Amino acid sequence: MIALEPHVVAGARAAGLGAIADKVAAGERLSLDDGATLYRTPELHVVGALAGAVREHLHGDRTYFNVNQHVNYTNLCNKLCRFCAFQRLPGQDGAYVMSPEEVGDKIRAHLHEPVTEVHMVAGVWPKLEYGYYLDILRAVKAARPDIHVKAFTMVELDQIAKTAKRPLAEVLPELVEAGLDSCPGGGAEVFADRVHQEGYKLKQSGDAWLETARTVHRAGLRTNCTMLHGHVETIEERVDHLDRLRRLQDETGGFQTYIPLSFHPQNTEWAHLPGPTAVDELREIAVARLLLDNVPHVKAYWILMELGMAQLCLSYGADDVDGTVVEERIYHDAGATTPQRTPRDELIEAIEDAGRVPVERDTLYNVVWSADEPAAAPT
Ligand code: V47
């Protein structure tokens, strides 16, 4: 049972969302039709209030962040996704592959900071040898043995297994042995075949992404999940995507966090599309919090939307703002105007300014430091 404030119930009834509010209060699963209604209702503040109530039921005011560092080890990619500004082919301006030594150097450059996670994703390039992936994992751990390595989207893992010419289930223990600790949520885009064909047909299908995630969860690794929204997809395709994530989560329980990724059009083949508005971003957070009743966390990734928007998202269902990041390429190549990094104390201040309680977490949501128990603050 979730206690909804009387004004939230009244607002929901006035907006024609009374039946959905009753289900939310009873902790009942929302249907696909409910999802479409939440996307279409003009009263976004009511959707946000319902999602905010769920967020507070799950996490109170606690708002998570981490001290992390991104490493994008190559931008070579043969998937040619129409939404992507990061990808390069060999010989193109700015194309690069980091050696394992360079990956280690990136980690060593931040040893003076209390980084607990490296987030390591890249393009998909079949000419990279299987041993390369093991070597970059080992290079990270050699540089910083206690760091958590969150690396490789389902799309990259699919390629790594193909390169190794072995099933992923066999390859995963070797990646773990080399240093892999968990996996990020990217590469899911929108699962619907129609959108896949129109925007990223060379990439693994939605079904294949889900099957890869199933294999990863069965191997005992936690992952995140995402949806890239605000391009050519319909509302029904978004609801279907969230429902497919929800069904896999019922089966495996392996997803920790859902992150809506708002499409950034600049320098992409879809540059003529307007991309989502700030209002769309709020709605994605809120609808996801309400539909994904079995995913513990919803993240407002500040890199996508400015810290001010991420603060607002904390009242629309989000309980996490991601981390310090340090160096980001995927969104900045596609026109993001956010800074490359936000220092730890600024994340704390932003969360407090939004009226919430900052909690520094590690990748698996163990508490590193919390404003409500500040004694163990890291230096
Ligand atoms: O896989 C690429 C998307 C993803 C664009 O798991 C784009 O904690 C919008 O997955 N506009 C990478 N989106 C980012 C990602 C992520 C980010 C933060 C945290 C976590 C996590 C995961 O970004 C890609 C793709 O789906 N993407 N280009 C673009 N132009």
Identify the CA nearest to 280 among candidates 230, 331, 225: 230
Q: Give the Å distance between the CA of 299 and the centre of ligand 1.
A: 12
Q: Give the Å distance between the CA of 176 and the centre of ligand 1.
A: 23
With a 6 Å cutoff on the Cβ, whether 122 touches ligand 1 is no
Cβ atoms of residues 105 and 285 within 8 Å: no
Rounded Cα gap, residues 51 and 299, in angstroms: 13
Give, using CA atoms, the residue closest to atom 16 of ligand 1: 186
Residues 239/151/96/80 CA torsion (nearest 10 deg): -20
pLDDT, position 375? 63
Choose the residue to mutate in 82, 228, 232, 299 for probing ligand 1, maximizing ligand atoms within 8 Å of C-beta.
Answer: 228
pLDDT, position 379? 43
Cβ atoms of residues 358 and 351 within 8 Å: yes
pLDDT, position 174? 98
Give, using CA atoms, the residue closest to atom 28 of ligand 1: 84
With a 6 Å cutoff on the Cβ, whether 185 touches ligand 1 is yes
Q: How many CA atoms lie within 13 A of 58 on its CB side?
A: 24
Cβ atoms of residues 76 and 125 within 8 Å: yes
Give, using CA atoms, the residue closest to atom 12 of ligand 1: 186
pLDDT, position 340? 87
Q: Which helix (H) or strand (E) holds 257?
A: strand 255-262
Rounded Cα gap, residues 205 and 3, in angstroms: 40
Find the farthest-apart pair of alpha carbons in the chain and give their distance in angstroms, rounded: 62
Q: Give the Å distance between the CA of 261 and the centre of ligand 1.
A: 6
* CA end-to-end span of the chain: 40
pLDDT, position 15? 97
Choose the residue to mutate in 262, 330, 364 for probing ligand 1, maximizing ligand atoms within 8 Å of C-beta.
Answer: 330
pLDDT, position 227? 98
- Return the ∠ at Cα 68 (arms to 64 and 71), rounded to 5°: 140
pLDDT, position 200? 98
Kind of pairing, strands 117-120 and 148-151?
Answer: parallel
Ligand 1 atom nearest residue 226's Cα = 10
With a 6 Å cutoff on the Cβ, whether 68 touches ligand 1 is no
Mean pLDDT by 10 residues, the chain (379 residues): 95 98 98 98 98 98 97 98 98 98 98 97 98 98 98 98 98 98 98 98 98 98 98 98 98 98 98 97 98 98 94 98 92 93 95 98 97 66
Structure tokens at 26: 């009873």
With a 6 Å cutoff on the Cβ, whether 322 touches ligand 1 is yes
Ligand 1 atom nearest residue 185's Cα = 6
Q: Give the Å distance between the CA of 18 and the centre of ligand 1.
A: 35
pLDDT, position 373? 83
- Single-letter residue type at 136: I
